[in-house]
């Protein structure tokens, strides 16, 4: 028999934990499911300097504080690799690879993951010079030389952002022209701090015992290998929403993201989506937390509407 809750939050990152906090504080029974440790990507963040209330805090410490707050009103947390969600109208069935759970409302907070280059040094120096978020980590590289990998909108926009702090930003792109929008390209080419390496295939991210020291790449035209000395490498070769378990619900757009309204509601009544899994521009801890609060209140209102309907039917 599936264990029953009012709300199941799939994903225990900052958005999911905030949704669980708001829903449980409204006296709803709440289960948070995550396939890893609560805190999400905060556990891989050395320092967080742009979360209100803290001048600086370690990512795992912020995750622990959020978890303590999320569970103070009775919300439960469990490991669970969700494989599917079935919509049965007033109830939803959540299947993991080990258990089944039933709830009146679902909050999807599974996030997104950056595509990896898959080169030596990328994993080893993650958080020590390798980053996928200029807004998160750019301030750590003031007056340093940096590399940006990629040629799309995100790569060039983030590269432009980095020029506010960095001494020099070099874009390494595997083609001979950018894929970014023309207006973004014009801004980049007009920026004295932006430099470009064309037709280059990144082969390795190099470093010492502590940090990144350079990027090794091969010129695709000549075959020659070069090393670009840099203090940080920002990688933008694509981002993928983690929405595979929800493909049969009819809530995904053509690219796999989940569109919602301003109340975080998807196309299916009783199913909400928050955080990086949504179709949006800015993916930050602060935005996820705000959306989590909205969704937490939203599920309360939704369940109240179900209860009101039942009262009317019985009458």
DSSP 178-207: --S-HHHHHHHHT-TTEEEE-SEEEEEEEE
- State the number of CA atoms in the 13 A half-sphere of 157 facing the CB: 15
Active site (annotated) includes residue 253: no
Alpha helices in 96-152 (DSSP H): 134-137
Paired strand residues for 197: 172
Active site (annotated) includes residue 136: yes
* Helical (H) or strand (E) element with 85: strand 82-87
Residue 172 contacts residue 201 (beta carbons within 8 Å): no
Annotated catalytic residue within 6, 34, 136, 276? 136
Distance CA(302)–CA(315), nearest Å, equals: 20
* Helical (H) or strand (E) element with 17: helix 14-25
Annotated catalytic residue within 133, 208, 219, 253? 133
Q: Is the alpha carbon torsion for 304, 309, 312, 314 positive or negative? A: negative
Nearest residue to 95 (alpha-carbon basis) of 107, 83, 111, 110 = 83
Distance CA(242)–CA(256), nearest Å, equals: 8
Annotated catalytic residue within 6, 34, 137, 276? 137
* Helical (H) or strand (E) element with 299: helix 285-314
Q: Is 55 exposed, middle or buried (0-12, 13-18, 19+ CB in 10 A)?
A: exposed
Active site (annotated) includes residue 99: no
Residue 260 contacts residue 273 (beta carbons within 8 Å): yes
Q: Do the strands 168-172 and 194-197 form a parallel or antiparallel pair, or are they unpaired?
A: parallel
- Number of other residues whose CB lies within 10 A of the CB of residue 83: 12
Catalytic residues: 133, 136-137
């Amino acid at each position: 028999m599936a264990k029953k809750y009012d709300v199941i939050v799939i994903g225990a990152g900052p958005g999911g934990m905030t949704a669980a906090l708001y829903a449980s504080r409204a006296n709803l029974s709440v289960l948070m499911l995550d396939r890893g440790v609560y805190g999400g990507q905060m556990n891989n963040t050395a320092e967080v300097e742009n979360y209100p209330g803290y001048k600086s805090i370690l990512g795992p410490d912020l995750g622990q504080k959020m978890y303590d707050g999320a569970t103070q009103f009775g919300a439960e947390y469990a490991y669970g690799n969700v494989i599917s969600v079935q919509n049965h109208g007033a109830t939803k069935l959540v299947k993991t690879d080990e258990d089944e759970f039933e709830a009146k409302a679902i909050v999807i907070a599974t996030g997104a993951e950056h595509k990896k280059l898959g080169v030596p040094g990328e994993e080893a120096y993650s958080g020590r010079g390798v980053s996928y978020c200029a807004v998160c980590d750019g301030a750590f590289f003031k007056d340093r030389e940096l590399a940006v990998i990629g040629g799309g909108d995100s790569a060039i926009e983030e590269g432009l952002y980095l020029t506010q702090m960095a001494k020099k930003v070099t874009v390494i792109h595997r083609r001979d022209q950018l894929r970014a929008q023309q207006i973004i390209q014009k801004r980049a080419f007009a920026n004295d701090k932006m430099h470009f390496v064309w037709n280059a295939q990144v082969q390795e991210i190099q470093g010492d015992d502590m940090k990144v020291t350079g990027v090794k790449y091969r010129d695709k035209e000549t075959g020659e290998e070069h090393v670009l000395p840099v203090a940080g490498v920002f990688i933008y070769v694509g981002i993928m929403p983690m929405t595979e378990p929800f493909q049969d619900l009819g809530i995904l757009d053509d690219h796999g993201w989940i569109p919602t309204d301003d109340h975080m509601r998807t196309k299916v009544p009783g199913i909400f989506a928050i955080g990086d899994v949504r179709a949006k521009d800015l993916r930050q801890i602060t935005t996820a937390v705000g959306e989590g609060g909205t969704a937490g209140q939203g599920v309360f209102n939704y369940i109240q509407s179900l209860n009101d309907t039942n009262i009317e039917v019985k009458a």
